[in-house]
């Protein structure tokens, strides 16, 4: 169990957030800034936008894989902790362009870690993914279940965890790898997800185009036949980052659960989900509640590579960080809808 130390932080800390201008990164950056911390964002603006970075936070436009950019960012700002969110995250694209994914997600991370070691950065949070589990076991997944990624995206995230564990062992870097499950929602419309790569925005997109949302298979071995996932609100996810950072600081490396302590004294791997599964149909029902009318769907073929069910065990993150979620599926879908409307005002007529 993480405990808060009696000693106070002797020097002000500065946190570098890579990818801080993107959907998840901007939420984490906003939460850090709101907690009074000094934050610097490093983002190449390939998918993020400068207007997502809050006032008072320095934005460095540059590549995480560029050693000179990383070195300058860390040294010039006296960075004490890094939250590494910048990455490519589309599964299909990773299958089509594996080497590019390895360069973006693995090689660049090695460069960032080299810079961190050189600059004496003490703590590192890494955005990992439930994609490291691959097909899972068909139900609730624990962090110690065997990781068996089934695409280059998931593989690149698992390798990222290995890089961290090895660097931590060699240098004493303290780290947490946060395995995100299905992230949705927004704290404000301006911070909504601009991408159309996940279920909730894909449903909104289909409806906006006057089409029926598609369900990829309704014959799965699940209660209603559609796939089950663990959807977590991005604001709860951002809060998990703050708690993880505090836990690494407060405990001086003693953040691992007892069972793992012998293996990984400097690091922590945590699922970030709710522990509750929702089916695709249940998500679409939530969209119907937000719009004020039922949503007509089209059931199509199963999508290759989809597991039937992937739900996080949240025992470890609850124990170690004292974290739990406070927002439900309707909060996610309604806030995602406000974000969608901010980018697609023409969709307003879809809601009654
Ligand atoms: N899904 C769907 N229709 C869509 C988009 C997604 O039925 O238009 C399903 C997909 O098969 C999966 C779930 O929604 O079961 C979540 O998919 P997403 O791509 O958002 O996340 P994943 O769990 O694949 O990372």
Q: What's the Rg (C-alpha) of the chain?
A: 20
**Do 167 and 287 have their domain in common?**
no
Distances (CA, A) of 161 to 16, 91, 287: 19, 18, 35
Q: Whose CA is nearest to atom 1 of ligand 1?
A: 199
Average pLDDT rounded to a whole number, residues 65-88:
98
For the entire predicted model, the pTM comes to 0.93
Residue 322 lies in a domain: no
Residue 351 lies in a domain: no
Average pLDDT rounded to a whole number, residues 109-115:
98
**Do 99 and 202 have their domain in common?**
no
Q: Whose CA is nearest to atom 21 of ligand 1?
A: 198
Average pLDDT rounded to a whole number, residues 184-195:
97
pLDDT of residue 262: 37
Q: Whose CA is nearest to atom 3 of ligand 1?
A: 215
Residue 122 lies in a domain: yes
Six token digits for residue 217: 């298979």
CATH number at residue 279: 3.90.25.10
Domain span including residue 301: 189-229+275-312+327-345
Q: How far is the CA of 54 from the centre of ligand 1 (A)?
A: 31
pLDDT of residue 305: 86
Tell me the pLDDT tens digit for each residue of 249-267. Answer: 765 544 444 434 333 335 7
**Do 60 and 99 have their domain in common?**
yes
- Which of 199, 229, 309, 329 maximizes ligand 1 atoms within 8 Å of its Cβ, making it the mutation to test the pocket? 199
CA triplet 301, 304, 310: central angle to 5 degrees?
100
**Do 25 and 147 have their domain in common?**
yes
Q: How many CB atoms lie within 10 A of CB 185?
A: 29
Whether residue 163 has pLDDT greater than 70: yes
Residue 317 lies in a domain: no
Alpha-carbon gap, residue 189 to 33, rounded angstroms:
18
**Do 140 and 214 have their domain in common?**
no
CATH number at residue 265: 3.40.50.720
Do the beta carbons of residue 269 and residue 143 sit within 8 Å? yes
**Do 105 and 151 have their domain in common?**
yes
**Do 115 and 216 have their domain in common?**
no
Identify the domain boundary among 257, 272, 287. Answer: 272
Do the beta carbons of residue 176 and residue 251 sit within 8 Å? no
Whether residue 90 has pLDDT greater than 60: yes
Whether residue 152 has pLDDT greater than 60: yes
Whether residue 22 has pLDDT greater than 70: yes
Alpha-carbon gap, residue 332 to 71, rounded angstroms:
37
pLDDT of residue 312: 98
CA triplet 28, 243, 140: central angle to 5 degrees?
90
DSSP-derived pairing of the beta strands 174-180 and 123-129: parallel
For the Cβ of 280 lying below 6 angstroms from any atom of ligand 1, the answer is yes
Whether residue 156 has pLDDT greater than 60: yes
Residue 350 lies in a domain: no
How many folded domains does the chain comprise? 2
Whether residue 286 has pLDDT greater than 80: yes
Residue 89 lies in a domain: yes
**Do 106 and 252 have their domain in common?**
yes
**Do 179 and 164 have their domain in common?**
yes
Do the beta carbons of residue 149 and residue 158 sit within 8 Å? yes
pLDDT of residue 258: 46
Alpha-carbon gap, residue 163 to 165, rounded angstroms:
6
Name the pLDDT band for 70 (thresholds 50, 70, 90). Answer: very high
Six token digits for residue 85: 């969110």
Among the listed residues 101, 133, 153, 175, the single catalytic one is 153
Residues 6+ apart with CB under 8 A from 342: 189, 190, 192
Residue 320 lies in a domain: no
**Do 57 and 117 have their domain in common?**
yes
**Do 52 and 29 have their domain in common?**
yes
Is residue 153 among the annotated active site residues? yes
Residue 321 lies in a domain: no
**Do 119 and 264 have their domain in common?**
yes
Average pLDDT rounded to a whole number, residues 20-30:
98
């Amino acid at each position: 169990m993480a405990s808060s130390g009696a000693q106070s932080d002797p020097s002000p800390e500065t946190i570098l957030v890579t990818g801080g201008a993107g959907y998840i990164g901007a939420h984490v950056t906003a939460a850090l800034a709101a907690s009074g911390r000094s934050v610097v964002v490093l983002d190449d603006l390939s998918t993020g936008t400068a207007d997502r970075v809050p006032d008072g936070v320095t934005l460095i436009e540059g590549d995480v894989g560029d050693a000179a950019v990383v070195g300058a960012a860390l040294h010039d700002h006296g960075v004490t902790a890094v939250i590494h969110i910048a990455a490519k995250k589309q599964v299909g694209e990773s299958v089509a362009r594996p080497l590019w994914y390895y360069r973006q997600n693995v090689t660049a991370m090695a460069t960032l870690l080299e810079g961190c070691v050189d600059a004496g950065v003490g703590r590192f949070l890494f955005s990992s993914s439930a994609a490291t589990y691959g097909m899972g076991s068909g139900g609730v997944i624990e962090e110690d279940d065997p990781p068996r990624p089934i695409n280059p995206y998931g593989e690149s995230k698992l390798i990222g965890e290995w890089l961290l564990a090895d660097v931590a062992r060699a240098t004493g870097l303290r780290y947490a790898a946060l395995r995100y499950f299905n992230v949705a929602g927004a704290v404000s419309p301006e911070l909504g997800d601009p991408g159309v790569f996940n279920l909730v925005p894909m449903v909104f997109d289909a409806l906006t185009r006057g089409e029926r949302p598609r369900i990829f298979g309704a014959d799965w071995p699940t209660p209603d036949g559609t796939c089950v996932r663990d959807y977590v609100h991005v604001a709860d996810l951002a809060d998990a980052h703050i708690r993880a950072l505090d836990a690494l600081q407060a405990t001086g490396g003693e953040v691992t659960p007892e069972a793992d302590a012998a293996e990984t004294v400097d690091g922590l791997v945590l699922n970030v989900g709710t522990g509750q599964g929702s089916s695709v149909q249940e998500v679409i029902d939530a969209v119907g509640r937000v719009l004020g009318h039922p949503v007509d769907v089209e059931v199509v073929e199963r999508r290759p590579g989809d597991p039937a069910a992937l739900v996080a065990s949240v025992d470890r993150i609850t124990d170690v960080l004292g974290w739990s979620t406070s927002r439900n599926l309707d909060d996610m879908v309604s806030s995602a809808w406000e974000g969608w409307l901010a980018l697609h005002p023409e969709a307003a007529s879809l809601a009654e």
